[in-house]
Amino acid sequence: MRTEQPKTIYLKDYKAPDYWVDETQLTFELFEDHALVHSRLALRLNSDLHGDGALPALTLHGQELALLKVVLDERELGEGDYQVDDDSLSLQPADATFALALTTRIEPQNNTALEGLYKSGSMFCTQCEAEGFRKITYYLDRPDVMSRFTTTVIAERERYPVLLSNGNPIASGEHEGGRHWVSWEDPFPKPAYLFALVAGDLCLLQDSFTTMSGREIDLRIYVEPENRTQCDHAMDSLKRSMRWDEEVYGREYDLDIFMIVAVNDFNMGAMENKGLNIFNSSCVLAHQDTATDMAFQRVEAVVAHEYFHNWSGNRVTCRDWFQLSLKEGFTVFRDSEFSADMNSRTVKRIEDVTFLRANQFAEDAGPMAHPVRPDSFIEISNFYTLTVYEKGAEVVRMLHTLLGEEGFRKGTDLYFERHDGQAVTCDDFIKALEDANGADFSQFKRWYSQAGTPRLSVTSEYDASRCEYRLHFNQVCPPTPGQPDKLPQVIPVRMALLDRDGKEMTLRLNGEALGTEAVVSITEAEQTLVFENVPTCPLPSLLRGFSAPVKLSYPYSRDDRVFLAKHDPDGFNRWEAAQGLAVDVLQGLVDIHRAGRPLNLDQRLVDVMRSVITDSELDAAMVAEIIRLPSEAYLVEVAEVADVDAIHFAREWLRRALAVALRDDMAARYQALAAAGAGEFSPSASAMADRSLKNSLLGYLMLTGEQEVLNWCVRQFVEASNMTDRQAALVALVNSPFEQQREAALADFAERWAAYPLVMDQWFSVQAMASQPGALERVQKLMEHPLFTMRNPNKVRALIGAFVNQNLANFHAIDGSGYAFLADRIIELDRSNPQIASRLVTPLSRWRKFDDERQALMREQLSRILAEKLSPDVYEVVSKSLA
Ligand code: 0A1
Ligand code: ZN
């Protein structure tokens, strides 16, 4: 916790360390009220910096530690021989190489921040990224210091039969008093952020994988005994990820054993510790009875993400935390391509783009906007952001688009070969791609240094007499904090030109035939492309597959969008056209509602929706995506000043109007899908797609208020063979006016699933998101539920997070009650878990989007928070929000 102003750290101040740590030997003695950590470090002067042999002081990072013993080269030091303050331990070495042995005492049981060594339930576990290792012992806790670790864990055998750390087990034995020990050795040098330890009473799912060179890897998933039956999907996902990384990137696993451990209390999704991934249980456990299809897909993606880090992150790591996107952007790109290969590529892309536009675009337009490679930070935990992860992945995707599959692979091969075992920068990554391909990405690198979402405005002209079609591109990137002026970026635009039948024309540019689809690079602020031999005026299909993370505008009429939604041969852009039409319609309805006039339904939207609902040839998952209206969050993002009430009203009105207009088609398709899905549960992609469409239709149909539909919904809730269908029915009931059925379903659900924390998280979320008035009171009441606790991040996200991020109409209530409620929760949580508290500030930080009255109310709450004694985490976000 802070009293004085926290310090800002700058990328430009980066300096290599004065000393290296070649070997790190750790011994943990775990007890019920504390732990002792003995470390023995082999240190060596960084002679590149200090070639003259002068020995600078050694300063190690350390926080919240009780230092019990310091031994320098076998000599125990007295208190006058070293200096300790809140963040560090300093001493003066006498030689260029030396051994330092330390003993610290820590209290994992009282570690509520879940950073460092802590307890989750009865289990000990660690979270060291980014700077958690310094809460375990004094160390050079920075990613460019890579060391070989050997770890011994000693604990009571009865309570902690399983003792794990990174690498391979090398020895074990018994101590008196019922204690036992296990030693682990990790042969690969690694930064401290990849260190992990687990001790607990865990059961094991075991399998094996034979690598491309024929090595047999022991695969282990450790969970608490009651979760033993919910690990199969994670294990399958792991094996698929291992194969995929061999096939697509030529990357083979390197240790003999790969372990995943599920813990209930975890700040993020999961962590890629070398050989010992620690997961939030929500990203491991999946069984059809308890997890939705979405949860299954998340497990698959997160397992893959952490596994892929073994190369993109662990073997090649980051020089400093400003380079975080080096591992995260690349790894998100890798996991999203993996998911695309395992499921529907187009649907995966639609999901990713939808998420990016509703969330990352908002971040890029807000007070915390920062480049993919930030220039400065106060608290690095605040920079595990959508910009570093998702926009970073988009940047890597553009490089992939520009180089093509083969060129990109040549580049990554060179990157892994050149930098294996090193801690490097985003520039090193780009350089490897350039060198392998003879490419020049100097302008492209602005994507790493400039924040903000570029706007790409396109207009066109057709010259019939010359058969020429001109596309004029104009790019502008708005100012962001600390960056008033931006330079033009490289924007790859994948595109085609369609004739009146929706057929792609052959593209000719500067005398060169490019085929029917091309990627053109826009590099200037203003640029015109002249297509030749264009026989009739075309309709452009632009930015296919969302080939660059920009805000594209082209003056499409609603009729143009209808045409593209029906005829564009590119599936992604068909969806994009339907989405654009829905956004346009909704924006029109918001304006009409604000003007106090009655709303009317544009039949063209009904027509598009009908055409897909009745098209049994089209992938059901695509249909589900096309009929899903843009979220309220996205409508807020695209509005100049967002009127949340009008947005909520218009969107709900449109949903109901569509349900009424399409009632019979929707009902027929719902019934057909329900009949087809009855019987044995299937986890196949096509069964998932069917469930997704069926449940989306049920949501619409319930808005008709018909008793018959209510009966279908109740039947689905009661008879469902899986959680996807049951939860969808619950959502529909909870959002319906049928109070008695709603309360009965909630009570039934709670009774049945009380023993399953992850299922109960859904129960909390469904209620927190229900948009009827009075949601805040309901949330406050739910906070008193015996299964709710502010100490578990999943519960906080499920109830508080869902309310403030997904229930916009209630959160933004004009009396300010939602804002005051959130401020209270942030202040309360900051005392126990600053990382989670800081993430909750986001909705308040977006105050500039709203009307004056709400702006004042939101700012008032931010100021109230700022007046408290705060962690650096919350201080940074709140102070930047108010700046
Ligand atoms: N590297 C992990 C994410 C992660 C980051 C920080 C954490 O604690 C503060 C935990 C996990 C990943 O990308 O999966
Ligand atoms: Zn990651």
Look up residue 58 and give its DSSP letter.
E
**Residue identifier of the C-alpha nearest atom 13 of ligand 1:** 328
Domain boundary among 180, 201, 222: 201
Cα(442) to ligand 2 centroid in Å equals 26
Domain boundary among 179, 201, 223: 201
pTM: 0.99
Q: What pLDDT is attached to residue 5?
A: 80
Residue 683 counted as domain residue: yes
Instruction: Return the structure tokens found at 129.
Output: 């990224």
Residue 68 counted as domain residue: yes
Pocket flag, ligand 1, residue 113 (CB < 6 Å)? no
Type of residue found at 438: G
Q: Which CATH number does the domain housing residue 1 bear?
A: 2.60.40.1730
**Residue identifier of the C-alpha nearest atom 6 of ligand 1:** 129
Q: What pLDDT is attached to residue 4?
A: 64
The residues near 214 (Cβ < 8 Å, ≥ 6 apart) are none
Angle at 452 between CA 645 and CA 861, to 5 degrees: 45
Residue 115 counted as domain residue: yes
The DSSP secondary structure of 513-532, one letter per residue, reads: E--S-EEEEE-SSEEEEEE-
The DSSP secondary structure of 243-265, one letter per residue, reads: HHHHHHH-----SSEEEEEEES-
Pocket flag, ligand 1, residue 306 (CB < 6 Å)? yes
Residue 798 counted as domain residue: no
**Residue identifier of the C-alpha nearest atom 1 of ligand 1:** 271
**Structural domain boundaries enclosing 639:** 554-704
Count of helix runs (H) and strand runs (E) in the chain: 30, 33
Clarify whether 129 is annotated catalytic: no
Mean pLDDT by 10 residues, the chain (883 residues): 76 98 99 98 97 94 98 97 98 98 98 98 99 99 99 98 98 97 98 99 98 98 96 98 99 98 98 99 98 98 99 99 99 99 97 98 98 98 98 99 98 99 99 99 99 99 98 98 98 98 97 97 98 98 99 98 98 98 98 98 98 97 98 98 98 98 98 95 95 98 98 98 98 97 98 98 98 97 98 99 98 98 99 98 98 98 98 98 97
Q: What pLDDT is attached to residue 244?
A: 99
Q: Nearest ligand, CA of residue 380?
A: 1
C-alpha distances out from residue 681 to 289, 434, 623, Å: 10, 49, 21
Residue 123 counted as domain residue: yes
What is the tally of structural domains in the chain?
A: 2
- The answer to whether the beta carbons of residues 819 and 863 sit under 8 Å apart is no
Pocket flag, ligand 1, residue 317 (CB < 6 Å)? no
Give the nearest ligand 1 atom to 384 CA.
5
Q: What pLDDT is attached to residue 3?
A: 46
Q: What angle separates helix 685-702 from helix 620-627, to the nearest 10 degrees?
A: 30
Residue 210 counted as domain residue: no
Domain boundary among 684, 704, 724: 704
Residue 434 counted as domain residue: no
Cα(17) to ligand 1 centroid in Å equals 24
Q: Does the interface ipTM go beyond 0.85?
A: yes
C-alpha distances out from residue 174 to 161, 183, 601, Å: 11, 12, 75
Ligand 1, pocket-test mutation among 127, 129, 278, 833, most atoms within 8 A of CB: 129
Closest residue by Cα to residue 260 from 288, 281, 286, 243: 281
Pocket flag, ligand 1, residue 310 (CB < 6 Å)? no
Q: Are strands 526-531 and 491-498 parallel, antiparallel or unpaired?
A: unpaired
Pocket flag, ligand 1, residue 127 (CB < 6 Å)? yes
Q: How many CA atoms lie within 13 A of 147 on its CB side?
A: 26
Dihedral, CA of residue 678, residue 679, residue 680 and residue 683, to nearest 10: 0
Cα 637 from chain centroid?
19
Which one of the listed residues 224, 306, 363, 637 is annotated catalytic?
Answer: 306
Closest residue by Cα to residue 724 from 324, 295, 298: 295
Pocket flag, ligand 1, residue 267 (CB < 6 Å)? yes
Q: What pLDDT is attached to residue 53?
A: 80
Cα(305) to ligand 2 centroid in Å equals 6
Ligand 1, pocket-test mutation among 261, 318, 325, 384, most atoms within 8 A of CB: 384
The DSSP secondary structure of 434-496, one letter per residue, reads: HHHHT---TTTTHHHH--SPPEEEEEEEEETTTTEEEEEEEEE---BTTB-------EEEEEE
Q: Nearest ligand, CA of residue 193?
A: 1
Residue 147 counted as domain residue: yes
φ, ψ dihedrals at 407, nearest 5°: -65, -40
C-alpha span between 258 and 264 (Å, rounded): 20
- In DSSP terms, which residues pair with 423 in a beta bridge? 317
- The answer to whether the beta carbons of residues 512 and 499 sit under 8 Å apart is no
User: 3-class DSSP state for residue 107?
Assistant: coil
C-alpha span between 162 and 728 (Å, rounded): 38
C-alpha span between 722 and 290 (Å, rounded): 7
C-alpha distances out from residue 508 to 187, 495, 513, 678, Å: 56, 13, 4, 52
Q: Which CATH number does the domain housing residue 569 bear?
A: 1.25.50.10
Q: What angle separates helix 775-782 from helix 817-830, to the nearest 10 degrees?
A: 20
Pocket flag, ligand 1, residue 144 (CB < 6 Å)? no
Cα(266) to ligand 1 centroid in Å equals 10
Pocket flag, ligand 1, residue 335 (CB < 6 Å)? no
